[in-house]
Structure 1
Amino acid sequence: MPRLRHGPAILLLILGVWGLPAVAAPAAPVLLVLGDSLSAGYGIDPARGWVARLEQRLNGDGRPWRVVNASISGDTTRGGRARLPELLERWRPALVVIELGGNDGLRGISLEEMRANLEAMVDLALEREARVLLVGVRLPPNYGPLYIDAFAAVFREVARTRGVPLVPRFLDGVGGDDGLMQEDGIHPTAEAQPRLLENVWPALAPLL
Structure 2
Amino acid sequence: MRRETLIGGIAVIALIGILAFFFMQRDEKKKYPQGGSQIIAFGDSLVEGVGASPGHDFVSILSDRLRSPIINAGRAGDTTAAGLLRLNEAVLAQDPKIVIVLLGGNDALRRIPKEETFRNLETIIDRIQGRGAAVILIGVRGGILSDSYKKSFSSIAAEKGAFYIPDILDDIFGNARLISDPIHPNDQGYALMADRIEPVLKMVMAK
Normalising TM by the smaller chain, what interval?
0.7 to 0.9
Instruction: Tell me the SS of whatever aligns to 1:192.
Output: helix
CA contact (8 A) 2:41 2:70 kept: yes
Corresponding position: 1:56 with 2:64: yes
CA shift in 2, pair 1:120/1:179, >3 Å: same
CA contact (8 A) 1:49 1:193 kept: yes
Please give the residue correspondences for 1:50-199 in structure 2 after superposition, counting only pairs within 5 Å.
50-59=58-67, 65-141=68-144, 144-145=145-146, 148=147, 150-182=148-180, 184-199=181-196
CA distance in 1, matches of 2:49, 2:91: 22
CA shift in 2, pair 1:163/1:108, >3 Å: same
CA contact (8 A) 2:139 2:150 kept: yes
CA distance in 2, matches of 1:81, 1:98: 11
Identity of aligned pairs, percent? Answer: 34
Q: How many residue pairs get matched? A: 170
CA distance in 1, matches of 2:79, 2:161: 22
* Deviation, structure 1 residue 163: 1.2
CA distance in 2, matches of 1:79, 1:68: 18
Instruction: Tell me the SS of whatever aligns to 1:74.
Output: coil
CA contact (8 A) 1:29 1:66 kept: no
Q: Partner residue of 2:197?
A: 200
Q: Deviations over 1:67-105 (max 9, x none)?
A: 100000111111111111223342111011100001100
CA contact (8 A) 1:85 1:124 kept: no
CA shift in 2, pair 1:89/1:137, >3 Å: closer
What's the TM-score, normalizing by structure 2? 0.77
Instruction: Tell me the SS of whatever aligns to 1:125.
Output: helix
Letter in 2 for 1:119: E
Q: Deviations over 1:10-32 (max 9, x none)?
A: xxxxxxxxxxxxxxxxxx93101
Letter in 2 for 1:36: D
Instruction: Tell me the SS of whatever aligns to 1:119.
Output: helix
CA distance in 1, matches of 2:174, 2:53: 22
Structure number with larger C-alpha Rg:
1
Q: Which moved more, 1:45-54 or 1:118-127?
A: 45-54
* Deviation, structure 1 residue 152: 1.8
* Deviation, structure 1 residue 178: 0.9
CA distance in 2, matches of 1:54, 1:201: 7
Letter in 2 for 1:127: G
Instruction: Tell me the SS of whatever aligns to 1:94.
Output: strand
Structure 1 unmatched runs, 5+: 1-27, 60-64
Letter in 1 for 2:170: D
Instruction: Tell me the SS of whatever aligns to 2:55.
Output: helix
RMSD: 1.6
CA shift in 2, pair 1:158/1:51, >3 Å: same
Q: Deviations over 1:121-172 (max 9, x none)?
A: 100010000011000011452xx43xx2x32222111101101111102112
